[in-house]
Amino acid sequence: MSSYRLLKDECLAANLALQRTGLVDLTFGNVSVGDPARRVFAIKPSGIAYGKLTPDDIVVLDYEGVVVEGTARPSSDTPTHRHLFLHFDAAIRSIVHTHSRAAVAFAQAGLPVPCLGTTHCDYFYGEVPVTRALTDAQIEGEYEWETGVAITECFALRGLDPLRVPAVLVRKHGPFAWGVSGEKAVETALSLEIVADMAARTLALNPGVSPAAGALLDKHFFRKHGAGAYYGQPNGRKS
């Protein structure tokens, strides 16, 4: 058995789960799952329909971008994933990219997803930011790598913790989300689409609505995250 089989299995399961969420149309979207200790990550192959994916189709690369297992061409977004694995906290083990419609609408508009209520607060500690536009030189050069640069630059300039704001909108492109596992990253991508849809509807009703902040943001975020969290079961049981 491949020494990367568990990693590939988790990556396959996450990609199939992503399709079941309804966040992807056609082959738009991909999930990667990393192993920081071995400095490798697994990712969906480019352009292969989700229903036809097998563990053997999943491609494993090292953090330098060299394929270490697999014969398929990896996702065209692989350099973006690699950049994030290299520059974000090692606790981030999985990255999801989609073209989900509500989140893409904010990205195309060049707007962050504002934190307007408790559903958003449960997952994101404040607004989900949008990156700056890439320059023509970046687009014409190492476009996918530069997409990752724009993401990490966005977080650095705003002083954001990617563990507290586990998603971003790439301007004119779409969302990236992440988590400590493939399952969690897919959940984050789904939660982003849900709150983006809610925000769009709320802004249509009341363009001047104020954000949820302060005590309300702290209560809802930290009851689910961090040392003092008390939401859910202590053993992680979900059913």
Catalytic residues: 122, 231
Amino acid at position 107, single letter: A
Q: Tell me the backbone φ, ψ of residue 134, rounded to 5 degrees.
A: -75, 150
Token pair of 39, please? 């400095």
Cα(29)–Cα(38) distance, integer angstroms? 25
Neighbours of 161 (CB within 10 A): 11
- CA distance readout (Å), 109 to 44, 56, 105, 130, 169: 28, 39, 6, 10, 10
> Quick one: DSSP state of residue 189?
H
DSSP state of 72: S
Task: Give the three-state DSSP class for 133.
Answer: coil
Residue 7, φ and ψ in degrees, nearest 5: -65, -45
